[in-house]
Amino acid sequence: MDYATFVEVYDRLSSTSKKIEKIGILAEFLKRLQKEESSEWIYLLRGKVTPDYDSRELGISTQLTLKAMSASFGVSQEKIIADFNEAGDIGEIAERYSQKRRQRALFMKKLDVKKVFDNLKMIISIEGKGAVDRKISLISELLTSAAPKEAKYIVRTLLSDLRVGVADALLIDAIAEAFFVNEDDAKQVLEEKYHLANDFSLLFDAARKGMLALGEIDLVPGRPVSVMLAVKADTLEEAFRICGTPAAAEYKYDGFRMLINKRGEDITLFTRRLENVTSQFPDVVSAARKYISAKEYVLDAEVVGYDLKTKKYLPFEAISQRIKRKYDIDKLAKTLPVEINIFDVLYHDGKNTLDTPYLERRKIVEKIVKTQALVIRPAVQKIVEDEEEAEVFYQSALDEGEEGIMMKKLDAPYRQGRKVGYMVKIKPTIADLDLVIVGAEYGTGKRGGWLTSYIVACKDGEEFLEIGKVSSGLKEKKENDGQETTYEEMTKLLRPLIISEKDNQIRVRPEIVIAVTYQNIQESPSYSSEYALRFPRITRYRPDKKPDEIATLSEIKKEVKKQR
């Protein structure tokens, strides 16, 4: 298949904002793609070359892309930067330079999908000395062979900014339309299977063979599964209405979700973002090996940091630095120890337990997890019959320094990747939201050189809608125990995500999630959500959360209604 075929699909997708039209375009293309040699090529529809759980990234910054373009098109980097700052889309600049190239060699073959895919996969795998030069060489090899529009989408793919509007849910809908048009429950089955595998290639390969093959996709220890998400409740009365009576009440810990997997002798750890953090938490691996008595399992847990001297729990930000750390891991494990609170089991000794009622799953957890103080334990829990009993438990959680409590439906299954009424979170009323950064501005004066003012967005379907600008809450330098996120650290996180830059303003890929408090929400024509946060303030960086988990526009509207 020529890469031009993909480019034609990209163009058609980017020319419409209508969901139904996009699904139709994709479904039509997927029928054609099923006849090709590799089901992995489906990743390219979302600008990727690996499954979602693969933490490896292309790692191509804007600066590296500019170098590759300069080498490919014979244009100075200064000229490219000037044009980029004016146009705001480096992909369009690549198309323009490719168009202006004086001539292409007569013997040049058409660029095919296999060549593009293979080069991109090689870029991901390159590490060590000379990696930058080798990556530039692979990129140049593609750009010098590419037609103008092909060059545009190659560059956009490199920067993870394809701009065609294909998110997970849309692609699942397209697979359903392509292969299960007359089966009403196909979309639900596809969603469940996708969140078990987190791999569109596997899903696509099974779907084109039929429902029977789709049904064979199962939970496999060692392969990350999407976690079940909780809904919010403002009162205990609301929580009981959702979960039923009696219900299980558990401490809500101020830590981060971790799925602990054991298959054979191998133990692997994944965050809710599907990141493999096994090497960052050797202490968790050691505790699991020593205190969990099962041959194979997938356990859902909350990992909480605590102060080595006082033994008191620390806020999430204290241990968040361990998630991304690659060096001095053993030292950090000793200075920032964690406690593992296990609250659910998804797989146990050869059996998928997703459809097992929650109360039975809890019994399995209690049976296989041996409590060791400040190391590992089943999450603190109590079955509560009424609001009065739940209130006492709620208060005990707050007295222990926890965020609040979770309420769980006793006979409910585990539904991966979804917010369902089986699990509810309740915490003291604080006006806060998880939002994603989509843009930023450089500071001045003593904050010069740092990105210090951030445009944040909520989610509406597949779109990210701006809801304000926040510039306070981070630190200018480390203080006290050094656990705070600084403007300098946030700048380092955002720079590789830049997709356009003009004057002192940048736009970034929506990947960095932050928690933001505010006084109230007001209507505003200045932002695409038509709302704005009043007096917003960043309370923490949330590397454990995915952009898909941020506040939705419907939740924003609900908050506005409550204000009134």
Indicate the pTM of the whole model: 0.82
What pLDDT is attached to residue 113?
95
What pLDDT is attached to residue 482?
55
* Exposed/middle/buried for residue 16 (C-beta within 10 Å: 0-12, 13-18, 19+): middle
C-alpha to C-alpha distances, 308 to 305, 334, 337, 371, 398, nearest whole angstrom: 9, 8, 7, 19, 21
Q: What is the mean pLDDT of residues 381-399?
A: 94
Coil, strand or helix at 232: strand
Cis status of the peptide bond prior to 525, with omega within 30 of 0: no
Q: Tens digits of per-residue pLDDT, 124-176?
A: 988 888 888 999 999 999 999 999 999 999 999 998 888 898 989 999 999 99
What pLDDT is attached to residue 108?
59
Q: What is the mean pLDDT of residues 366-395?
A: 96
What pLDDT is attached to residue 515?
93
What pLDDT is attached to residue 462?
81
- At the top level of CATH, which class does the domain 229-426 belong to? alpha beta
What pLDDT is attached to residue 106?
47
Q: Specify whether the CB–CB gap between 229 and 244 falls below 8 A.
A: no
DSSP 40-68: GGGGGGGT-SS-TT--------HHHHHHH
Residue type, 128: G
Q: Band of the pLDDT at 481, cuts 50, 70, 90?
A: low
Residue 87 has pLDDT above 50, yes or no: yes
What pLDDT is attached to residue 415?
94
* Residue boundaries of the structural domains of the chain: 3-158, 229-426, 432-563
Phi then psi for 410, rounded to 5 degrees?
-65, -35
Tell me the CATH number of domain 3-158, given options 1.10.150.120, 1.10.3260.10, 1.10.275.10, 1.10.3720.10.
Answer: 1.10.3260.10
Q: Tens digits of per-residue pLDDT, 91-127?
A: 888 998 888 774 554 445 689 999 999 999 999 988 8
Q: Tens digits of per-residue pLDDT, 186-219?
A: 999 999 999 999 999 999 999 999 999 999 999 9
Residue 484 has pLDDT above 80, yes or no: no
Q: Specify whether the CB–CB gap between 68 and 159 falls below 8 A.
A: no
What pLDDT is attached to residue 383?
97
Q: What is the mean pLDDT of residues 396-418?
A: 92
What pLDDT is attached to residue 159?
87
Residue 430 has pLDDT above 70, yes or no: no
Contacts with 280 (C-beta within 8 Å, 6 or more apart), sequence order:
322, 323, 324, 325, 326, 329
Q: Tens digits of per-residue pLDDT, 496-528?
A: 888 888 878 899 999 999 999 998 898 888 899
Q: Band of the pLDDT at 268, cuts 50, 70, 90?
A: very high
Per DSSP, 228 falls in state P
**Are β-strands 351-352 and 338-348 bridged in parallel, bridged antiparallel, or unpaired?**
antiparallel
Torsion of CA 308, 309, 312, 318, to 10 degrees: -50
E strand or H helix at 179: helix 168-179
Six-digit token string for 562 = 């409550």
What pLDDT is attached to residue 434?
94
Alpha helices (H) in 182-231, listed in sequence order:
186-197, 200-207, 211-215
Q: Report the C-alpha gap between 279 and 269 in whole angstroms.
A: 9
The pLDDT mean for the chain works out to 90
- Catalytic positions are 252
Q: Report the C-alpha gap between 227 and 464 in whole angstroms.
A: 22
Residue 563 has pLDDT above 50, yes or no: yes
Tell me the CATH number of domain 432-563, given options 3.40.250.10, 3.40.50.1170, 2.40.50.140, 2.170.8.10.
Answer: 2.40.50.140
Owner of token pair 């909780």: 230
